[in-house]
Amino acid sequence: MNAIGWPNWRRLNQEGIVFAIAILLFAAAALGLPGFLTADNLVAIVRSVSVLGILALGMAVVIIGRGIDLSAVAIMAMSVAWYLQLLNTGTSDGLAFVYVLAGVLAIGLLNGFLVAYADVPAIFVTLATGSFVFGYVRSQLITQDAVPVPGGHWVELLGGVRFLDIPVEVFVFAGLAFLVFLFLRYTKWGRFIYFAGDNPVAARNIGVPVRPMLVLRYVLSAFVALIAGLLTAASLHSINTRIVNSTLLYDIVLVAVIGGIGLSGGRGGVRNVLVGAALIGILLNAMTIIDIPLLYQNLIKAAILLGAIIVDGIINPRDEQTAQQGDI
Amino acid sequence: MKLLRTLMAAATALAVTAFAAPSFAADDPGPAAYAKSLNGKRVMLVPLAMGFDLAQGWAHYLKKEVEAWGGTFETRDPNWVVDAGAQAITDAIASDTRPDVLIIHAPDLNSYSKLMKKAQAAGTYVLLVDNPANFPADAFVGSDWDKLGQLEAEAAIKGCGENSSKKIGLVQGDQANSSSLYQYAGIMKVLEKHPDFQVVAKPDSNWDATTSRNVTTTMLQQHPDICSIIDFWDGDATGASAAIRDAKLDGKVFLVTTGGGEKAADCDKLEDGTYGAVVMTDLARQSGDMNAIIKFLLQSGQPAGTSHTYIYTLEKATTKADLKPDSCWDLKALQAEAAAK
């Protein structure tokens, strides 16, 4: 990678490979599939991966810092389900939103504290908090899987917001991507994430506040999940907590990893998420147009993830330091 | 005079019968036999999850009935996880308080077959509800999904009309669940009889609303002149309806789906035009059917697995035009009723 952030084409890395595949697929679909290369369909592609991409942005920040957040989907669905349930049972909007913000903050802090200060591996912490959030909200706070948005509420209106006929989630995705890009590249704390992800001990020795920053990343990821959940509810006029049982969580990791963000931490950025999301979006859209049954779609997607992980292993070999410290 | 005498004689006879009736009732062996075979019997419902309208409706109506005849009613919540359901059934069979009747909502054709056989061997009657399975249960109570698919297709054809594009899109569930497979078969049966109508796309939603929205968006872009879409479940049809709304095709695409006839999920959406037609299950009646067959089995004295009965619920495609105040049942009202107790 050179100074202005363009990929270095002479040394083909995973991001380059995936980007090339995405371009090839795009070209093939544009030539072979009628109706693929229309403005509406292109917008639909971006929109279909917007929520996924937003979640992947949060996940990317966590992974770059050598962590993982498996509670993202649970936080996304359950926070919004609880919010809508509060609204449906007559809690005032402001109060309900404060409750939910506090809840999301608490879970982010809990994730961060357990990983940073209790030294429990992130994969176990977030797996547990994800199950906890789902179980607690599902059993104690809401009465059924699907919670509708009350008629006329701002979440419902949000779903109808269009600018130049482009749905609102596309702009939110673009905006968040830009913000995360600025954060990672131009802020001190953003740069520190790379140091901490690459070598936490060395980062600590040079005076980087490694632990508070770890907490911050999980809090960020939780808030990003809340935004993704609100956008989902805005579009569908309801939120279904069954999504926690779906493959969405793996899709988020898929988008981040396939774009070239190494699971061993310290590598990658927003561009990798965009490349990963582009490939998945084009792939799913093309497969839907061709009418490939879901079973095969999942098989193709899984094969690509497996391929990406293998390529990642070859291109970003585990160095001495990773082998000693371990990754997630 | 003669007529009057006859009338009086008849009246006397009637009066005698009427007064004599209570003494007959006292000797009626029914209630005692009924109480003897039903009292203290255990009924357990293991649905796919307790978190959705069908399961909550069944549980409400069954509990009321079972407790009224002196039985115990329990539910287990596998929360859409097949393994958790299997565990719940295994535990139930092995426990000291083994249920006398197990009502199972099967996730697919085969997963629970062995367990259901075990349950019958242990002496528990097995009822399958809603989703058929490859297993000779004591009774199946639920929709004839093939017929249901036919009703959906007929509703879609009617919704399209003669002067339409005659293009229909399907949003299937998945390729494993019997309700999805049989529904598809039923739809195709009707469409074969109407060769001028064609299915232009048939993606799966995997029962997920976001996926349903995405595939429907693509479908509508590829075929903007689609006149009707059949989404296989009201649980994810909110996604298909969002895609139609986003494409500004409200009122142009006739959305057909199926569901448990819950007010917020079905009738309200027919009322506001989101759905064109919903093939609804009469949930109270379906629960009543279950209760009747449970009472029959418990009194029959026959060993579990002796007879195999199919009780298909009457299904009907409801449109806005034939909505009535009692077309749907209201989950909120049931929950309020339960909370008030």
DSSP β-bridge partners for residue B262: B329
Candidate from B56, B174, B218 with C-beta closest to A285: B218
Residue pair A306/B235 in contact by the 8 Å Cβ criterion? no
Q: Which 3-state string (H, E, C) describes A147-174?
A: EECCCCCHHHHHHCCEECCEEHHHHHHH
pTM: 0.80
Q: What are phi and psi of B232, to 5 degrees?
A: -75, -5
Domains and CATH numbers, chain B: 39-144+283-314 (3.40.50.2300), 145-281 (3.40.50.2300)
* Domain-embedded: residue A169: yes
Which pLDDT belongs to residue A5?
53
Measured from the Cβ of residue A214, the count of other Cβ atoms closer than 10 Å reads 24
* A319: helix, strand or coil: coil
CB contact under 8 A, A138 and B80: no
Q: Which residues of chain B are at the A interface, by a Cβ-Cβ cutoff of 8 Å? A: 49, 51-53, 56, 79-81, 174-175, 201-204, 206-210, 213-215, 217-219, 221-222, 235-236, 238-239, 242, 246, 264-265, 331, 335
ipTM of the complex, rounded to two decimals? 0.76
pLDDT number for residue A322: 56
Distance CA B317, CA B143 (A): 13
Distance CA B51, CA A142 (A): 9
Q: Which residue of B has its CA nearest to A135?
A: B79
**CA distance linking residue A171 with residue B194, whole number of Å:** 44
Q: Which sign does the torsion angle of CA A202, A207, A211, A217 carry?
A: negative
What's residue A35's pLDDT? 77
pLDDT of A1 reads 44
Residue closest to B97 by CA, chosen among B72, B121, B68: B72
Distance CA B177, CA B175 (A): 6
pLDDT digits (tens, 9 = 90+) for A55-94: 999 999 999 888 889 999 999 999 999 999 998 888 888 8
User: Is A253 a domain residue?
Assistant: no
Asked if A232 and B218 come within 8 Å (Cβ–Cβ), the reply is no
Q: Where are the alpha helices (DSSP H) in B39-101?
A: 53-68, 82-94
Does residue A24 sit within a domain? no
Residue A3 lies in a domain: no
**CA–CA separation, B82 and B105 (whole Å):** 11
CA distance B72 to B41: 6
Give the list of residues 6+ apart from residue A205 with CB closer than 8 angstroms, or none. Answer: none
* A13 falls within a domain: no
For chain A, the residue count is 328
Cβ distance A34 to B222 less than 8 Å, yes or no, reads yes
A306, part of any domain: no
Question: Under 8 Å CB-to-CB from B246, ≥6 apart: which residues?
Answer: A167, A235, B217
B49 and A235 within 8 Å at the Cβ level: the answer is no
Q: Measure the CA–CA gap between A31 and B200, rounded to whole angstroms.
A: 21
Domain count, chain A: 1
Q: Is residue A4 in some structural domain?
A: no
User: Residue A279 falls within a domain, yes or no?
Assistant: no
Closest among B327, B133, B217, B273 to A47, alpha carbons compared: B217
Tally the residues of chain B.
341
Give pLDDT, residue A101: 93
Spell out, as residue ranges, where chain A has pLDDT lower than 50. 1-4, 9-10, 328
Range of the domain at A195: 51-245
pLDDT in tens, chain B (341 residues): 566 666 666 666 555 555 555 555 567 888 888 888 888 999 999 999 998 888 999 999 999 999 999 999 999 999 888 999 999 999 999 988 899 999 999 988 888 999 999 999 999 999 999 988 889 999 999 999 999 999 999 999 999 988 889 999 999 998 878 889 999 999 999 999 999 999 999 999 888 888 899 899 989 988 989 999 999 998 889 999 999 988 888 888 999 999 988 888 899 889 988 999 999 988 889 999 999 999 999 999 899 888 899 999 988 899 999 888 888 888 888 888 877 77
Residue whose entry in the numeric block shows the structure tokens 């632990």: A211
- Best mutation target among A80, A138, A144 (most B Cβ atoms within 10 Å) is A144
Closest partner CB to A236 (pick from B51, B80, B213): B213
